[in-house]
Each structure stands twice: as structure tokens, then as C-alpha cells.
Chains A and B, each alone.
Chain A
Amino acid sequence: MIALPIILPFMVAAIFLIFPECQRLQKSLAFITSLVIYALGLSFLSDSKTVLEVGGWEWPFGIVLVADGFSSVMVSLVGLVGIVATLYSYGEELRDRHYPLSLILLGSVNGAFLTTDLFNLYVWFEVMLMASFVLLSTNVSKDGFGGAFKYVLLNLVSSFMFLSGVGLLYGSVGALNFSHIASRLGSEDLLSVYLIAAAFMIKSALVPFYFWLPASYHRASATVSALFAALLTKVGIYSLIRVLSVFPEIPELLFAIGVFATISMLVGIIGAFGQVNLRRLLAFDVVSQVGFVLLGFSTGGLSSAVVFYLIHMIVVEMNLFLIAGVIEKRGNFIGSGIIGFSFIVSACALAGVPPFSGFFGKFLIIAEIFENSWVLSGVLALIMGLGTLVLMARIWDIYFWGEKKGEIVISSWQIISVIILTIVTLSLSIFSAQVLELCQWVIDV
């Protein structure tokens, strides 16, 4: 049953491919599928972790899927993302085959979260890459295609790195399962590990591999960019964290990640300030957030704060992109209370203003950074926090206080989806103590 979050979306997508006409049916089926994924994810959050040996082939020879605390939380988040994205899409003019493609995307992300096999992980990365590329290229303009092309090119480099690393590793240790590899790693295998880590870094949009992110996110439709923002980089971060936590610790690699992460924070903020296009601005901000969370990981390891911040990132970044999809037509939104309120909540959460969700993660991570004597990075993290706050104020300034540029129609579906995420953000904030405890438990499991 663990595999259901993976197989089910694929099957439903296949059905959509066979019968491409009935849009309404697709919309409701997509929604139900996301709901099922969400429910499944939550159900996996039981005390013991659930393990599935695919095909009946025992560990370590077969592909093993594991639903432990961390992956279950991630899967349920994917479900939540799916639910919200589907609702939001009801209010949008969508491109062809949006639903089968996004369902495949969801399924592959689940695959990446649940697998403990390195090659299987590679496969899911490939599926994600293709699905997102096609999502970017349908109904695209000539300029838009440039962005999609850059996206796919850079991610293909990531695939190249990944595959080379896996190949070399397989040749050297003869294993593909995470823990199996970990037990057989030798010092001569560091090259392969670094290659794989580099691939993950590209996927996470860590500097200097981040170029694909600001090139592509704003080219897609609003729903799709929200999906991307919520999931793509997070899979990279998750994989990096997961794999490096299972493998024996490599201090130099962690150091390199820390340095890159620090630079990411700065690059993201500076890049964001230089943008006027709202979604591109947010895309740069995502880069800085990725830097922050990976900085936290590289200094403090897999802590409850890191998991918490990851959850918070998914929810809040998605919400911001959804809101951006609504307001970017440059209306004067000061009149729309709900959107304004949701924006304020999400913006404060992102900037790390108490009492919102981002604050707790920020505080704990920065405390860890300083505790591990990465003083300069810590200072830069603080500056990044301030920068994000000012960035959000700037968005408010331009889009909520700015001039009206034409009539805007906001579909109520879009508002509903934004509200859902806002509520989740608020819950994360109010119940932060409990969520942090949950994250702590998640890591221990």
C-alpha cells in the first residue's frame, strides 16, 4: 500500500490520456486522487515505519520503499499541494493535458520521497524532469520556450551527474540501496558521492546551479509555477538530506554545501530585489530560502528545525505563488481583504516574523548556525531575513498600494485554495510547539 501514492496518480493519468475529452471528469478525479494521497500520507504516520519490498524481492536486492516519519510527512504534503493546486486550477484557463501531467508529477515526487534505492530515485527524478518540462512547453510562446529549454538543459546536466555517480558507485560497491551502499562505501568512492551530491544540488537550485529556477518559474501558468515552487526544489533538498544522512559523514562536502548555501541566500535576495516580474522575484527568493535551509542542514544536521522549515517552505512558498498568480496582473488589491490578509500571513511567515511559522524554524536554525561557529553565515542569514521582510514589503508596496491596471477577475476557487493554505500556515504557527515535537519524532523514527 505504500506504493499507492506513486502508482495511483500514474494510473489515473493514463486514464486521462486514453480519454482526453471530459475535462470535468478529469478535474474531479484529479482532486480525489490528491485527497487520497494526502490521506495515505497521514495514515503512514504511525509509530513504526512501513516497508515495502517491491516485486517481492528482498532487501537489499530489490527496490525498497519506506514510509517512515520523514517520508510520510512529505507524502501528505504532496497530497495537500495536489488538493490545493487542483482547486486553484478550477479558476484558471489551463493548458492541454494539465491534469495528467501534474498527476504524473505528483506521483514521481512521491516516488522520490518513498524510495530508498538510488537508481529508483534517479528514475523518479527523470519523470519529474520530463513532466515539468512538458508542463512548461505546452502552449508556450517563443520566449517562454527559452526558459523551458534552459530548465531542461540544466536539469539534464543534473541527470548526467546523477547517473554517472550511480554508475560509478554501482561499479565500485555493487549496491543500490541507500543503507546497503552506506555499509560498503570506501574512501575511493568519494568521487561518486560528490557527483550524486552535485546532482541534488542542481535539483535544489543551490548556487551556482540555480539558473534554471528564475528562468522557468514565471513562464508557466500560475497553478504550475505554484506546483513547481512547492515541490521541485524540495525533492532536491530532501534527497540531499536523506542520502547524506544515511551515508557516513563527509565533512568537506558539508562544508562545501554550507558555503554554497550562504552564497545562495545572498544571491537570492539580491536577485529578487532586482526583479519587477512578481513570480520571477519570488523564484529568486526561493533560491535564498533553499540556501537557508541547506545551511541549517550543513551546520546542524537533520534537526527538527530543518524538517519544520521544509514543511513551512512548501506551504508558504506555494501560497505566495498562488497569490502571485492572482495579483500579478497589477491590480490594486488593497480592496480585497482576503487576498491581502493571506498575503500578509504568508509574507510574514516567509520573512520569519513571529508568531508565524517561519520564525520558529529561523530562530532554531540560526541558533544552530551560531552554535556551530559559522558566524559569518549566521550574520548573513539574519540579513537575509531582514531582506526577505523588506522584499515582501516591496511587493505590498507595488501590488497592493500601486495603481490599478485594469479589471481583475479572481475566481472563488482560487480564493478558496489560498485560504486553505493560509489556514495551514496559521496552524503551523499556532501549533508550532506541537509541530516541532512532531518533527523531532519524525527524525527519531
Chain B
Amino acid sequence: MSFVALASRVIIPLQIFLAFFFLFRGHNLPGGGFIGGLLLGLSLVLALLGFGFQRIKEAIPFEPSTVIGIGLFTAGISSFFGPLFGKGIFTGVWGSTVPFIGKLSSVLLFDVGVFLLVAGIVMKVVYSLMEEEC
């Protein structure tokens, strides 16, 4: 148990970083919202294994459904940028380039939404499976 906890402390931040890394680089290189979200989810699983369900549950203030909902909402909102500028929904609206993140756009926002949602569902599934134990 303690080895896992130790390893977790090292690996988890790495995983979280990788998750965001893959998210932002997805548009030009392999990566994207799905992969990032899964990585984030995996980090959560590791955390649960390392520190136990109760501690993690207390540490993270969100309900999984909330995360899922926010993810879905974000993805949906990103579609409205097009109509704002008089075009159809889900039309990409592109802005300026930001270091590390890349070009800001509604498409990126959509990917962020996907990211959150995928992480959220891993969270939800794992939570509901682990809930019984306690």
C-alpha cells in the first residue's frame, strides 16, 4: 500500500501534466480531448488506488455528474460561437495564438469540453463502482 502511495505521488502529477499536454497538442499531433481525458481519468484511478476512496472523495469537491455536465455544456457552448458571428453552429472561430496552448478557438473550447467530459465519466464509473465498498 505504501509503495503504491509513494509511486502515486510521483506519477499522478506527471499524468495530470501529460493529460493537459496531449489535450493542447491534439490539433497538430496525436492527442486531443479523448486521450487527454482518459489520461486524467487514469490519474484519478491511480489516486484512488493509492490513497483510498474516502480521502480522494473529500479532496475533490466536485460530484462526477457535475464534471460531466460542465464538459457537455462547454462543448455545446462552443458551438454557439459560430452563430454569434452570423454563421452556422459549430463553425470554428479562431483567435490569436497563446504559448503552450496553441491557437485559441471555439474548436479548442470544444475539445476542452470533451476532455472534461471524458475525465468525468471515468470518475463517475469508478466512483459508483467503489461506492459499495465503503
Contact = CB atoms under 8 A, between A and B. Distances in A.
Nearest to B72: A14
B31 interface: no
A10 B69 CA distance: 10
A7 B76 contact: yes
Contacts of A10: 72, 76
Interface in B62-88: 63, 65-66, 68-70, 72-73, 76-77, 79, 82-83, 87-88
A11 interface: yes
A282 interface: no
A18 B88 contact: no
A56 B66 CA distance: 31
Given A17-B66, A20-B65, A56 B88 contact: yes
Nearest to B80: A7
Contact of A15 (B69, B79, B90, B92): B69
B126 interface: no
B69 A14 contact: yes
A38 interface: no
B90 A55 contact: yes
Contacts of A18: 65-66, 69-70, 73
Interface in B39-69: 63, 65-66, 68-69
Contacts of A17: 65-66, 68-69, 72
A189 to B, nearest CB: 29
A54 B72 CA distance: 18
Interface residues of A, number: 18
Nearest to B79: A7
Interface in A47-82: 52-56
Given A7-B76, A10-B76, A18-B65, A53 B88 contact: yes
Contact of A16 (B69, B77, B79, B87): B69
B89 A52 contact: yes
Interface in A80-104: none
Nearest to A104: B72
B49 to A, nearest CB: 27
Contacts of B72: 10-11, 13-14, 17
Interface in B10-51: none
Interface of A is mostly: helix
A55 B69 contact: no
Contacts of A19: 69
Contacts of A54: 88-90
Given A3-B89, A52-B88, A56-B87, A14 B73 contact: yes
Contact of B91 (A7, A15, A55): A55
A18 B92 CA distance: 26
Nearest to B74: A14
Given A3-B89, A55-B82, A56-B88, A14 B76 contact: yes
Nearest to B73: A14
A132 to B, nearest CB: 18
Given A17-B68, A18-B65, A56-B82, A11 B90 contact: no
Q: For A17, A19, A53, which residue has the most chain B Cβ atoms within 10 angstroms?
A: A17
A21 to B, nearest CB: 11
A14 B92 CA distance: 22
A103 to B, nearest CB: 12
Contacts of B92: 55-56
A7 B77 CA distance: 9
B88 A15 contact: no
A138 to B, nearest CB: 13
Contacts of B66: 17-18
Given A14-B76, A56-B82, A7 B69 contact: no
Interface string A13-44: 11111111000000000000000000000000
Interface in B88-116: 88-92
Contacts of B76: 7, 10-11, 14
A61 to B, nearest CB: 14
A335 B74 CA distance: 52
Contacts of A7: 76, 79, 89
Contacts of B63: 20
Nearest to B90: A55
A53 B90 CA distance: 10
Contacts of A55: 82, 88-92
A10 B72 CA distance: 8
A179 B54 CA distance: 55
A20 B82 CA distance: 29
A10 B90 CA distance: 14
B57 to A, nearest CB: 17
Nearest to A4: B89
A52 B79 CA distance: 13
A11 to B, nearest CB: 5
A16 B91 CA distance: 26
A15 B77 CA distance: 12
Closest 6 CB pairs of A and B: A17-B69, A18-B69, A56-B91, A14-B73, A14-B72, A55-B90
14 contacts: A7-B76, A11-B72, A11-B73, A11-B76, A14-B76, A16-B69, A17-B65, A17-B69, A20-B65, A52-B89, A54-B90, A55-B89, A55-B91, A56-B92
Interface of A: 1, 3, 7, 10-11, 13-20, 52-56
